[in-house]
Chain A
Amino acid sequence: MRTISFDGVIIGGGGAGMRAALQLAQSGYKTAVISKVFPTRSHTVSAQGGITCAIASADPQDDWRWHMYDTVKGSDYIGDQDAIEYMCSVGPEAIFELEHMGLPFSRTDEGRIYQRPFGGQSKNFGEGGQAARTCAAADRTGHALLHTLYQNNIKNETVFFNEWFAADLVKNQDGAVVGVIAICIETGETVYVKSKATVFATGGAGRIYASTTNAHINTGDGMGMALRAGVPAQDMEMWQFHPTGIYGAGTLVTEGCRGEGGYLINKDGERFMERYAPNAKDLAGRDVVARSMVLEILEGRGCGPNGDHVKLKLDHLGEEVLESRLPGICELSRTFAHVDPVKEPIPVVPTCHYMMGGIPTNVHGQALTVDAGGDDAVIPGLYACGEVACVSVHGANRLGGNSLLDLVVFGRASGLFIEKSLREGIELRDASQTDIEAAGDRLNALNERESGEQVAPLRHELQEIMQNHFGVFRTGEFMREGIKKLADLRERVENVALADRSSAFNTSRIECLELQNLFETAEATAIVAEARDESRGAHAREDFTERDDENWLCHSLYFSENKKVAKRGVNFTPNTVETFQPKARSY
């Protein structure tokens, strides 16, 4: 097997990966990005509404501490306050950098960046009413962001391995991560990519659910690799169901629609969010809105012949506003819902959208585990940022517009920290031939297997289990049933058959490897969801309907080798502001 060496290698060419890569490339270190798709095909491109940050454009008095308060509250108090403090305070600098790089933000009459209201935003620590804090490029902010980052990586001559797939981590005898085994999809060649710093920016895994706003490529590859390498996963029970996925198609309709004045209606045309969240109404936290929608549907007030969805009303905003502020939504709605939002409301339903959990990291992107004494311990050589990481700034529920800020701020922070570490000198022992071969085991087994089941039906089965047993509302008994089904599925997924054995652009091989990553992510989700016997943020238990701060004001930590769930403390000690104490969360 050929070896290629770099100072830093980034797995994933989405927003987080390219922001980290840009930082490293600018520092002059030999940097490579391994991406299974051409970078601008990454899922960041689908982000619509914007990037939330207190840049004080819409409101000159705006304060990042207000944003921090909202984020802590949104997280249902298990977001780490030091990390949230870092994100909210560094955010404006990171946004202005993006603007200087050329990101085509929409503008205000003063020439500043346009900001729109999003869910869960407030002024003056929840006392000053709705804030408008989400910086937008029409409703194509993710697209504009991703292309701008790719363009600036071209400018800085980052090395891209496009359409290369990272299969597994290579660890040396000290347990340090020293690179990955990667496959060139076009030729089928397998190489060892050696690196002093390996950054996971592999994004989410929404494809564990049957109905998702996520791209086909969101298969939890980083989670799969990490869990197989013994890295723990944090808060995996926390999956965000976006209130407005287009009914039937699952494609996303931005929260910005409600920010611009749209609202949800049931079959009677009633604006039902007024009952569930009297103050914030349709701009309550996403978890709150999604649950309210499901309750409306369960209580028989859903729309359509099956009463299984609600509708998003936009027509009262007028064609001009819709075509200038939400042009992409008009396009998507016409294509996928066959509905023109200028005239009729869009049928929507809560749809799996975002993985709040992931690889635990500190604010420098360093991956963490816990040592025998229960203290945090850095995993040498491994970093994570973006959706695959759990810093954790989102806790139990992410606020709209915070994912783009997360990936920009922590992609940048990882790059900065790795640059500093490289300057100080990173000493990791080389992997032995045995270490490298061990990392290639899974791939070799797949290539050599003669029998087994096909990938598509197995994937479908997995997605149905997750959709049915681990959806918006969860119960212990039903989840245990789901866990049993997953246990039965594991061996079949591990023995998936490779129907096509050719080398050139073999997408069947990639789909098999992705399925195994999906499975690892799904199982972690299932086991932790069953263990957390309380309701918090996006994790809503019908058998434990209350938040239990006494036992569960903490992160969950999942270890794949023994399928055990541990607890990890939440950070309540920000550096420059007072701690935000947990209180009842209402909107």
Chain B
Amino acid sequence: MATSIISLRRTGLSDWLIQRASALVLLTYFILIACQLLGSVDYISWRGLFDQTWMKIFTLLAALSLAAHAWIGLWSVTTDYLTERLLGPKGKSIRLLCQIGTSSALIGYVIWIIVIVWR
């Protein structure tokens, strides 16, 4: 999924689908978390939840969804506002810098989540 987002062959349709699919995953994930939090939560049960393999996979999926969703959204924002039309010739380098920053941060977060959950 992640590779298709940054690949050169990506289409508006794939972005659009990924945004919606990832939103669904995130919604489900956060409803699940919310239900947990609304019940009685203690360290043991919380730990127990995240020790299960399905929850680890689901969390990883949610993390990847969050990264994909954020990347598409922020990529849109940067290509809207950080353009040569609005910023002059420097627009391209500013945009690329922001995009590299954004993508590095997102990759970083995903790795961090993997480290936390799968450790």
A–B direct touch, CB within 8 Å, in complex? Answer: no
Interface residues of A (CB under 8 A from B): none
Interface residues of B (CB under 8 A from A): none
